């Protein structure tokens, strides 16, 4: 089969590139640079992004005869820089870093920009940049920050930005223009993967039974239905562990949902007390995830021991691709966060062949499409995603009452930037995870608000967010406050039932008020270890728009409606300031931990 090879240099969007190419009707296959070989089936090559510097001694390289190669090659981000260096260009590391929306001016007679307007809004994520090209290459796009945002020659093309993410408005057209350089055929049909996955499950399972760890989310639901259609309801058992980190009435709703669908082999294990004991006073986000994952396996193993007295079992997980890529999928991919399905105990079981993950190569939108193809109800397939560790990663724990960081200079610089937007702000004495240039960042959020007489505008907020995060090295996330923010005191905060119950109530009110807003793909509610001047806990809400969880834009909520729902939540005792996360992904991950 003719295909386009996606060479994986460890970037966060490698599989997203492959997805986009398949969406254009061409089969794509991801390959490792150190084992890549050209063959007659390959009609095009794409170099992916990656977290390294092309100039680093241990950077990924590829064994390819670039001089005599006749196959079209597209380089994206790191791939754009590597391709330029391979043909004799030069790469520079400097201060011209860009993360997020960027405007570029492109040459409309260039092949990749054919049919597009001169001005394009694209999604940048880079530190290094190409500063010099060989004579037979031409610059096809520039931004205010870098001269060479895109280039091309007769058969080589480079884009410093990411056309594969939905935020690059005309990215699919750019990829389509590249594919047209490779072939005129469009014969790949992605709808065939349902039967393919069912066949794969049957092949792996043979005469064994399956046990699925059911979280109640979309992914585990689709994995469950897929397994049932593959081997039959009587051969699939489900275990739901109520960790104490579920949303309000979540476990009860799970039983009701699956009873409606006719799934009978479901057991709920009450484990809240055990989880709270294991996580007592634990504040480090990675440590929390690892403890949650390990305990999950330990509890599941006890059940499996009982079940295995009757039959031989395989464990099923509803892991999807973003869970694996953010945990570092290749040798040189950056760790963004350890997913609870990728802790050491799970990795060991995977190597032993005791776990199957039938949807691990799919993205969230594909999982939903698969769920509908399997005949699951629309209301279940399109529920808001909910992370496996649940509310445990939506409580930002702290064992300190004073920050150890001095960001006085950065906060002064922040307010100098904010003058341009008629705003004020401060850096918060906590940290959250982000992803910038394919690397994990663990930096401070900053909170901003409009001055008293300023007019509120989402255009201003979006521009402000992008500029602040690009300019301030210690900030990777921006949150917005409707009102001026007074003094905030760092407070001790742990995973305790009282705190989790409070978060559950806040989350329930906010979900009820926003569940009907179809544009909101997910809305995490985060409890912060910050107390305001009234000694009340602060919160963050994060409504995002996304398709596949690999990138996300901010939902631009009406300011009056936002004020209304915040006022309702603040009627709860002990609820203080509520901020609105205005950070796109990247640079801010959807979850704060």
Query: Catalytic residue positions?
Result: 77, 162, 164
Alpha helices in 355-401 (DSSP H): 364-373, 378-381
Residue 209, beta-bridge partner list: 313
| 3-state DSSP assignment of residue 266 | strand
Extract the tokens encoding 214.
């059911």
118-136 burial, b at 16+ Cβ within 10 Å, e below that, comes to: eebebbbbbbbbbbebeee
509-541 burial, b at 16+ Cβ within 10 Å, e below that, comes to: bbeeebeeeeebbbbbbbbbbbbbeeebbbbbb
Q: What residues have CB less than 8 Å from 53, skipping those under 6 apart?
A: 59, 91, 93, 127, 128
- Interatomic CA distance for residues 97 and 162, integer angstroms: 14
- Interatomic CA distance for residues 173 and 182, integer angstroms: 14
Backbone angles phi, psi at 89, to 5 degrees: -80, 175
- Interatomic CA distance for residues 235 and 208, integer angstroms: 8
- Interatomic CA distance for residues 246 and 316, integer angstroms: 20
Angle (deg, nearest 10), helices 193-205 and 364-373: 90
Backbone angles phi, psi at 116, to 5 degrees: -105, 160
- Interatomic CA distance for residues 353 and 356, integer angstroms: 8
209-226 burial, b at 16+ Cβ within 10 Å, e below that, comes to: bbbbbbbbbbbbbbbbbb
Angle at 157 between CA 153 and CA 159, to 5 degrees: 135
Residue with tokens 């050209």: 38
**DSSP sequence for 170-215:** THHHHHHHHHHHH-S-----GGGHHHHHHHHHHHHHTT-EEEEE--
Sheet containing 209-213, strands listed edge to edge, beginning at the edge strand earlier in sequence: 266-270, 236-242, 209-213, 313-316, 355-356
| 3-state DSSP assignment of residue 156 | strand
Q: Which residue, among 3, 78, 14, has the nearest Cα to 45 in the 3D structure?
A: 3
């Amino acid at each position: 089969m003719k295909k386009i090879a996606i060479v994986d240099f460890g970037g966060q969007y490698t599989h997203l590139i492959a997805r986009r190419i398949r969406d254009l009707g061409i089969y794509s296959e991801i390959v490792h640079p150190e084992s890549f070989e050209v063959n007659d089936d390959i009609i095009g090559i794409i170099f992916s992004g990656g977290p390294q510097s092309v100039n680093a001694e241990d950077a990924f390289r590829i064994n390819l005869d670039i001089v005599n190669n006749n196959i079209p090659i597209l380089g994206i981000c790191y791939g754009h820089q590597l391709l330029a260096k391979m043909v004799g260009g030069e790469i520079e590391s400097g201060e011209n870093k860009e993360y997020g929306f960027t405007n570029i001016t492109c040459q409309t007679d260039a092949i990749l920009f054919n049919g597009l307007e001169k001005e394009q809004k694209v999604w940048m994520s880079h530190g290094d940049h190409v500063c010099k090209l060989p004579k037979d290459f031409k610059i096809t796009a520039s931004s205010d920050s870098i001269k060479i945002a895109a280039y091309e020659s007769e058969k080589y093309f480079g884009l410093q930005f990411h056309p594969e993410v939905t935020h690059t408005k005309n990215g699919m057209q750019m990829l389509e223009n590249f594919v047209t350089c490779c072939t005129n055929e469009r014969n790949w049909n992605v709808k065939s993967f349902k039967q393919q996955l069912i066949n794969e499950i049957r092949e792996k399972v043979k005469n064994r039974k399956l046990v699925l760890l059911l979280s109640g989310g979309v992914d585990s639901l689709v994995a469950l239905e897929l397994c049932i259609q593959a081997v039959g309801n009587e051969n699939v058992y489900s275990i739901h562990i109520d960790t104490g980190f579920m949303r309000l009435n979540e476990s009860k709703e799970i039983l009701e949902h699956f009873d409606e669908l006719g799934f009978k082999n479901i057991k709920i294990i009450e484990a809240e007390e055990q989880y709270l004991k294991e996580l007592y006073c634990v504040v480090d986000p990675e440590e929390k995830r690892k403890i949650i994952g390990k305990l999950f396996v330990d509890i599941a193993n006890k059940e499996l021991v009982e079940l295995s007295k009757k039959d031989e079992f395989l464990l099923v997980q509803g892991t999807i691709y973003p869970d694996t890529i953010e945990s570092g999928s290749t040798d040189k991919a950056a760790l963004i966060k350890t997913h609870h399905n990728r802790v050491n105990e799970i990795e060991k079981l995977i190597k032993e062949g005791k776990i199957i993950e039938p949807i691990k190569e799919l993205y969230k939108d594909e999982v939903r499409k698969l769920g509908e193809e399997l005949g699951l109800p629309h209301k279940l397939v399109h529920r808001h995603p909910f992370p496996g560790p649940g509310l445990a990663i939506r409580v930002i724990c702290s064992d300190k009452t004073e920050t150890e960081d001095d960001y006085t200079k950065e906060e002064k610089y922040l307010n100098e930037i904010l003058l341009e937007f008629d705003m004020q702000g401060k850096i918060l004495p906590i940290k959250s995870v982000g992803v910038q240039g394919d690397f994990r960042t663990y930096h401070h959020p900053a909170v901003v608000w409009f001055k008293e007489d300023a007019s509120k505008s989402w255009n201003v907020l979006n521009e402000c967010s992008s500029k602040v995060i690009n300019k301030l090295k210690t900030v990777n996330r921006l949150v917005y406050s409707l009102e001026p923010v007074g003094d905030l005191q760092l407070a001790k905060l742990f995973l305790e039932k009282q705190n989790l119950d409070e978060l559950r109530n806040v989350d329930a009110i906010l979900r009820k008020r926003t569940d009907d807003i179809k544009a909101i793909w997910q809305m995490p509610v985060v409890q912060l270890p910050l107390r305001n001047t009234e000694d009340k806990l602060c919160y963050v809400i994060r409504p995002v728009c996304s398709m596949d969880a690999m990138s996300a834009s901010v939902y631009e909520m009406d300011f009056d409606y936002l004020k209304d729902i915040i006022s309702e939540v603040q009627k709860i005792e002990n609820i203080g300031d509520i901020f609105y996360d205005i950070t796109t992904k990247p640079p801010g991950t959807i979850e704060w931990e």
